[in-house]
Amino acid sequence: MTKEQQTPVLDVRNISVGFRRRRREPLFQALDDVSLTIPRGTTMGLVGESGSGKSTLAKAVLGLAPTQSGSVRLLGRDTTHLRPTERRKLGSSLQAVFQDPNSSLNPSCTVGRSLAEPMLAQGIRSREIIARRTTKMLEDVGLDPAAAAKYPRDFSGGQRQRISIARALMTEPQLVICDESVSALDLSVKAQILNLLADLQDEHGVGYLFISHDMSVVRHICHDVTVLYRGQVMETGPTRLVTNEPAHPYTRALLLAAPVADPQAQQQRRAATATYGRTTGVTAEASSGCPFAPRCPFATDQCRQERPEPQTLTDGRVVACHRYPEWRQEDRADAPVSEHHDR
C-alpha cells in the first residue's frame, strides 16, 4: 500500500464547535473534543439522538460551521480554515447528500442541469465531458440516461434521492457526507438506496461519513461507527463490535431503541430501555462529568463529577466510560442488542 493510499480520506482531530443562541447567553458546546478517522473507501457511521452534534460535525467538515479548536484534514490536507475561494475547489473531492432531495435539486432545472452544476463549479466546461459523465452516473444509480431531460417533479422520492447521489458523485469525490440521506424514505426504497451506496463504494472507492440516528441502518452499511452524545464521543470502533457488544451504556440504549420484527424481543427491549432515564437541557452533571450520567443506570458520583478519558480497548475500540467493563456485569437486561451485521 502506497503512502497516498494509507492517508485517511478524512481525519478529524479534537474538533470543538460552540454557538450562542443569544448574544448574552453562555456558549453552547455543540461539539466538544471530537475525533474520528475514515480510511479510504470505507464508511464511518456517526450516530446519536437529535441534538447530539452529528450535523454540526458534517457542517464543520464542509466548512459551514466555524471551529474553535482542532483540525479537519481531507486527504492529508488541513481544510479547517480555508478561504471561500479555496474551499470551493474541494468540490472535486468532497460532496454531500442530504435528507431531503428536494432541497438540493432545483425544481426549475432539468436533472441534467443539476448534475452538471458540480462540474461547472470546478471549471469543467466541456459539454461532451459533462454529457458523458451524466449518462454514466445516471446509469450507475439505476436510472435511464433520458432522465437528464426531465425535471425533479417527474420522479418519486426514491428516484430523486438517486439523482442526488448521482449529482454528488459527478466530480468523482473521495468523500461523500450522507446526512440522514435515507431517513425520509420508505423501508423498501431505503434498502435499495443503501445497497446502491454500497455498490457505488465498491465501484468507485468512495468513502462515506454516514450520519444517522438509526442503528439498524448503520449496522447494514458502515464499517466503523462513532457514537455521539451531547457533542462528545462515547464510543468508536468496528461496527460489528460496537453493535454486538457495546462498551458504553449509551450505545446499548441506542441499540435497544431500534425496533425489531419479533414482538417478544421488542417487548424485552422496551423493558430494558425503561432503566435508562430521560433528561432535557444542559445539566450541571453533564457539564462537569460524563454527559450521559444523568440518564445512566450505572452512573456513580465519579461519573457525575469527572469527565471520563477515552480508553483504547484490546479489540481496538475506544470508549469514554468510568464504569467499563463493570457496568456490563451489572447489566441484568436480557434483551439482545443485535440481530445481525451485514458489513
Task: Locate all alpha helices (DSSP H) within 231-276, ordered by sequence.
Answer: 239-244, 249-257, 263-273
* Residue 61: CA count within 13 A, CB half-sphere: 33
| Residue pair 233/321 in contact by the 8 Å Cβ criterion | no
Question: Quick one: pLDDT at residue 280?
Answer: 40
From CA 342, how far away is CA 334, in angstroms rounded?
23
C-alpha cell at 152: 425533479
Q: At what angle do helices 127-140 and 111-121 cross, to 10 degrees?
A: 120
Mean pLDDT by 10 residues, the chain (343 residues): 77 92 80 95 94 93 91 93 85 88 87 94 91 93 94 92 92 92 79 88 92 87 95 96 94 81 58 55 58 93 94 95 92 58 57
As a whole number of Å, the CA-based R_g of the chain is 21
The residues facing 28 across adjacent strands are: 19
Which are the contacts of 301, defined by CB distance < 8 A and separation ≥ 6? none
Question: Quick one: pLDDT at residue 286?
Answer: 47
Question: Quick one: pLDDT at residue 58?
Answer: 94
Burial of 149 (0-12, 13-18, 19+ CB in 10 A): exposed
Q: CATH code for 3-93+173-330?
A: 3.40.50.300
Question: Quick one: pLDDT at residue 6?
Answer: 81
Question: Quick one: pLDDT at residue 281?
Answer: 40
Determine the Cα angle at 338 with ends 337 and 343, to 5°.
145
Q: Which residues of 226-254 are buried (b: 16+ CB within 10 A; e: fewer)?
A: bbbbbbbbbbbbbbbbbbbbbbbbbbbbb
Question: Quick one: pLDDT at residue 284?
Answer: 38
| Residue pair 233/257 in contact by the 8 Å Cβ criterion | no
| Residue pair 102/152 in contact by the 8 Å Cβ criterion | yes
Parse the chain into domains and list their residue ranges: 3-93+173-330, 105-172
Which are the contacts of 280, defined by CB distance < 8 A and separation ≥ 6? none
